[in-house]
Amino acid sequence: MNPSIASPSDPPPVQFNLPPLSLSLFDAEPSTHQQPNGVVHGSAPPHYSEPSTPTSSGYAAERGSTSTATSVSHEIEELNIHDPPSVPDDSNAASFPGKRHLDEDDGSASWRKRKKHFFVLSHSGKPIYSRYGDEHKLAGFSATLQAIISFVENGDDRVKLVRAGKHQVVFLVKGPIYLVCISCTEEPYESLRAQLDLIYGQMIVILTKSVHRYFEKNPKFDMTPLLGGTDTVFSSLIHSFNWNPATFLHAYTCLPLAYATRQAAGAILQDVADSGVLFAILMCRHKVISLFGAQKASLHPDDMLLLTNFVMSTESFRTSEAFSPVCLPRYNPLAFLYAYIHYFDDDTYLMLLTNNSDAFYHLKDCSIYLDQYVSSEYSAPINTPQQQKRLLRAYQKLFASMHDKGIGPHKTQFKRDENYVLLCWVTQDFELYAAFDPLADKATAIRTCNRVCQWVKDVENEIFLLGGNPFSW
């Protein structure tokens, strides 16, 4: 996903139904440069006409209220953040990153220099997964992590976070399964914990939560054979933490598409869903083209993220039609659904989900109605993976501070550091996150954000799924 929006050139005069950001909220600063890059995370933006032409397509949308947003009344909070320069690493090396550096262990200097580790282990200390190195060579290290968790639990408490210099050690306990992240990336605790939760969710997609029963019967149960061949799935998910805003927004992104084209695809999917399919989803890579579900069936954005990651990182799905058991953690973590997966080309694929394990040929017949699809390519204004990672982490910090329950949610916020000017605007109906050149002044940032909001409202039918979508969460 491209985590950026560039405003259209020479837009028409702005006429707002929503109250725009007000200059009175900011202290103006002189500048001559501005380069907007942003993410709009919203529910259902109000309607406008005469769409402009986008230069990028990074939108994360989820359905909700369509009422008029309330005016912004809180003063902006201005903070200075000095991020270290981005250092390239090998986490961006491949489209389907697999297991790396199997020769490393906790005694290797190169292993210790990794900026971000993820570990999954059982409550007996048996390693299940590690991002770097061979799990079996890290058995002693896993036992140490298990000892820390057990020591705190023996005191009737639960360990969540340990800070050691520049490092954060984040713990997440899910019954008999322990997940740990060790990071010096300066990502907020909330983001790292959410990433651990997604890794656990990806395990549930493959195994269901019923795997806990095996540990109840045998505390020393070895879970690694059940996850054989899935290193690419987990590596792909971890890789997405560096570029995909959906991993912290908990929202899915739609492929910008002409309204009539999306409606035509939606009508076909609705017919498919009415024939007994639980969920019918048409995708272009990680972006939703159209989706429909059976009555009262709800698909959470996190389930969408984990399902698409599983499909896109499993190479065998691309070579032939597939019928695979999958579990959706937010829908029902204890039971499998069955997914019919069919690729039309390298990027476009159809997923039909049912609770009937014998429905392959029925779903195959349904897919015949969808045999052609053409989509445009979109270029990214953020050119390198390192730039994308740095921008996404800046957005993560901004998102976490905007939704910090300890100090209460904000409505607007303006931050300046050596890399960006960051502006966030949160209303009842949408959230806008924008990044500008570090020399941009506040007045310019506000004007640009208002133009972006205007453009988004102009083309809402092309970039959001509106009407006819029964999903809610």
134-143 tens-digit pLDDT: 888 999 999 9
Contact 161, 171 (CB under 8 A): yes
pLDDT score, position 458: 86
User: Does residue 225 carry a pLDDT above 50?
Assistant: yes
Mean pLDDT of the chain: 76
User: Does residue 55 carry a pLDDT above 50?
Assistant: no
Task: Tell me which residue of 420, 403, 422, 400 sits closest to 411, measured CA to CA.
Answer: 403
Q: Which tens digit of pLDDT belongs to each residue from 92-124?
A: 334 445 557 888 888 889 999 999 999 999 999
Q: Looking at per-residue confidence, does 41 or 444 come out higher? A: 444
Q: Whole-model pTM?
A: 0.68
Q: Looking at per-residue confidence, does 224 or 76 come out higher? A: 224
Residue at token pair 């969460």: 473
- Alpha carbon of residue 465 to chain centroid: 18
Per-residue pLDDT band for 126 (boundaries 50, 70, 90) equals very high
Task: Give the pairing type, strands 37-42 and 430-436.
Answer: antiparallel
Strand ranges for 285-336 from DSSP E: 287-293, 322-326
pLDDT score, position 333: 94
Straight-line distance from the first to the last Cα atom of the chain, in angstroms, rounded to the nearest whole number: 22
User: Does residue 5 carry a pLDDT above 50?
Assistant: no
pLDDT score, position 294: 79
Coil, helix or strand for 147?
helix
Tokens of 172: 């997440």
Per-residue pLDDT band for 370 (boundaries 50, 70, 90) equals very low
Percentage of the chain exceeding pLDDT 70: 72
User: Does residue 288 carry a pLDDT above 90?
Assistant: yes
Contact 202, 237 (CB under 8 A): yes
Q: Which tens digit of pLDDT belongs to each residue from 206-219?
A: 999 988 988 888 88
Domains in the chain, ordered, with CATH?
A: 23-86+379-463 (no CATH), 96-249 (3.30.450.70), 257-367 (3.30.450.30)
Q: Which residues contact 221 (CB under 8 A, 6 or more apart)?
A: 122, 214, 215
Q: Name the burial class of residue 254, with classes exposed (0-12), middle (13-18) and buried (19+) by CB atoms within 10 angstroms of its CB.
A: buried
| Mean pLDDT, range 381-407, rounded to an integer | 79
pLDDT score, position 337: 94
Give residue 224's identity as a one-letter amino acid code: T
User: Does residue 192 carry a pLDDT above 70?
Assistant: yes
The mean-pLDDT minimum among 55-59, 127-131, 292-296, 423-427 falls in: 55-59
User: Does residue 23 carry a pLDDT above 90?
Assistant: no
User: Does residue 129 carry a pLDDT above 90?
Assistant: yes
User: Does residue 60 carry a pLDDT above 50?
Assistant: no
User: What is the maximal distance between C-alpha atoms in the chain?
Assistant: 68
